[in-house]
Amino acid sequence: MKKNYFWRLSLLLAATAFSIIFFLPSTSLRPSMPEWLKNYGLTLGLDLQGGVHLVYEVDGDRAVDISTERIAGSLTNIFKEKGVNSRVEKSGPEISVTPPDDKADKLVAENYPNLDKVSKSGEKTIYRLGDKEVNRIKESSVDQALETIRNRIDQFGVAEPTIHRQAGNEIVVQLPGVKDANRAIELVGKTAVLEFKLLDEDNPAALQLPATVEAGKEEELFAQFAGKIPEDDQILFEKISGEEGRAVKRVYLVKKQTLMTGDSLTEARVNIDQRENEPYVGISFNSEGAVIFRQITTNNVKKRLAIILDSNVYSAPTINEPITEGEAQITGRFNMEEAKDLAIVLRSGSLPAPLKMLQNITVGPSLGQDSIDAGIRAGIIASILVILFMIIYYKLSGVIADFALVLNILFLVGVLSAFKATLTMPGIAGIILAIGMAVDSNVLMFERMRDELRLGKTPRAAIDSGYDKAFWTIFDSHVTTLITAVVLYEFGTGPIRGFAVTLGAGVFINLFTALIGTKTAFDIITSTRNIKRLSI
């Protein structure tokens, strides 16, 4: 008889040791744990430890507009290379080619087959992106924004963030444990479009512009110089510190043509300027970008190159000599935190379109603690009631079922800890439901055993027969519950998925503790004692 249950007892002991080891990092003993073990353990979700809940809407129309701008700029360069004298202009969602040219039409068709020719007259040819391409860009912009946000948050260092898509073009971001909501919002929402453009310092309009302007008075400056700025130029600003702490911006006249974008970046890192003792962001380009950057710096020696992020000038150094190593620096009198955030958004790439914030909720830790207390109370009350019921109704067999119930809870938190799961209130609800299912399995087996005892069978025979006959009933009920958990996880969002994970894990553990845990306990009792009557 010992051989029959020895392997099951060994399996139970191994599972118990496994669960305890992986759950320990979730306790106050974590600091004394080995380094490899500290990476495991349960993480509390947003509703339990507080944090930030954000809902963004991706501006799909702006994504289409940006794509149209890039196509217009690309066609300008293509026409220049191929010797086509037609001018390319973007007006709203349309691109016009003036004057019309058959060679230009052919180049457009070859390079951008998704552009539909809307009309052609003696003055111009007008193109527009097709409906299918517009829908593709909008759909792609949401997927790209989702991936970009995820990359930024991962580098931000938030444990177990929840980032998912909802309602078409909306993105939900939950950041448990984040205390600085403003920093998180700025990091997530920064478009991070990096551009390199030349200053137009030789233009007379540049000499008329003031060196600086107070923050908030940019529109007044635009109105003052309306009509005086060349069509191919634009006014941009750089944030600097003014006297007595006033917010001041340096004024630049910049050429609109973008010589290079941040698409060629391979690395962005924070370094310290040894002379100024200030952090700056060093950037590196890929091989293609290095070639472009070398051409730019070779052709524009002694000119100033503005490094622009989201239409804000960060620095405008003079090109003293060609830069061939494919590296550059972004300076701007950052503090270390600002430099790190800038490096994060540059490494993770630019957003394909601006984000509109629809919801911003900061959950305080006090509310989270209330949720923890309520969840613990509910779990304790449910467990006590179940334990008492099983002991009163099933006597010694009820004690064995309660033993399996304790193992069930231990194994469940151990498995969740091993998978570094995030525990939320819905997750706690899933654990409580799993507890109820564990008791239900034992009730089915105990009632079967009672039926067998009424038929006059011995305790040993009644136990074996009860387990055999209840097995498929228990198995079927757990499989249907598991299917439900899989569907909830596949189609649900954050909280629903948390519930599904704990419920799904509970299904497997229930089968293990009900069919192996309690059976092992009965086998040990019946093999070590000559039992004439089963306490059930």
Do residues 229 and 321 share a domain?
yes
The pLDDT of 315-324, averaged and rounded, is 86
In the sheet that holds 170-176, the strands lie side by side as 162-166, 170-176, 51-58, 355-363
Poorest-pLDDT segment among 339-343, 446-450, 452-456, 493-497: 493-497
Greatest mean pLDDT range, 50-54, 198-202, 268-272: 198-202
Confidence band of 526 (pLDDT split at 50, 70, 90): confident
pLDDT of 87 higher than 80: yes
Question: Would you state the pLDDT for residue 243?
Answer: 61
The predicted-structure confidence for 212-230, as pLDDT tens digits, reads as follows 998 888 899 999 888 888 8
Q: In 10 A of CB 377, how many CB atoms?
A: 10
The number of domains in the chain is 3
Residue 358 in any domain: the answer is no
Q: Is residue 304 part of a domain?
A: yes
Same structural domain for residues 412 and 346? no
Q: What is residue 494's predicted lDDT score, i.e. its pLDDT?
A: 64
Q: Whole domain around residue 108: which residue ranges?
A: 61-131
Question: What confidence score (pLDDT) does residue 371 get?
Answer: 67
Are 82 and 23 part of one and the same domain? no
Among 131, 152, 178, identify where a domain stops. 131
**Statement to judge: residues 325 and 374 lie in one domain:** no
Residue 237's pLDDT is what? 92
pLDDT of residue 209: 92
Instruction: Give the whole-number percent of the chain exceeding pLDDT 70.
Output: 95
Question: pLDDT, tens digit, for every residue of 15-65?
Answer: 999 999 988 888 888 888 888 888 788 877 777 777 888 899 998 888 888
> Would you say residue 161 lies in a domain?
no
Q: Which pLDDT band holds residue 365 (cuts at 50, 70, 90)? A: low
Question: Which CATH number does the domain housing residue 103 bear?
Answer: 3.30.70
* pLDDT confidence of residue 536: 80
Domain boundary among 131, 163, 178: 131
Q: Which of 197-201, 326-330, 374-378 has the highest mean pLDDT?
A: 197-201
Residue 519 counted as domain residue: yes
Distance in angstroms (rounded) separating the CA atoms of residues 200 and 180: 40
Same domain, 215 and 111: no
Question: Per residue in 89-144, pLDDT tens?
Answer: 888 888 988 888 888 888 888 888 888 888 888 788 999 988 888 998 888 888 88
- pLDDT bin (cut points 50, 70, 90) of residue 437 is confident
Are residues 392 and 311 part of one domain? no
Please, are residues 531 and 525 in contact by the beta-carbon 8 Å criterion? Answer: yes
Q: What rounded mean pLDDT belongs to the chain?
A: 83
pLDDT tens for each residue of 301-312? 899 999 888 888
Domain CATH code at residue 471: 1.20.1640.10
Within this chain, do residues 83 and 224 fall inside the same structural domain, yes or no?
A: no
Residues 195 and 291 in one domain: yes
The C-alpha atoms of residue 506 and residue 500 are separated, in whole angstroms, by: 10
Answer positive or negative: Cα dihedral of 251, 256, 258, 261: positive
Residue 312 — φ and ψ, nearest 5°? -115, 130
Instruction: Specify the amino acid at residue 280.
Output: Y
**More confident: 259 or 364:** 259
Predicted local confidence at residue 176, as pLDDT: 82
- Binned at pLDDT 50, 70 and 90, residue 493 comes out as low
Q: Is residue 359 part of a domain?
A: no
Residues 372 and 493 in one domain: yes
Q: Residue 271's beta-bridge partner residues?
A: 280
Q: How confident is the model at residue 1, as a pLDDT?
A: 45
Higher-confidence residue: 72 or 245?
Answer: 72
Whether 259 and 330 share a structural domain: yes
CA dist., res. 369 & res. 315, Å (int): 46
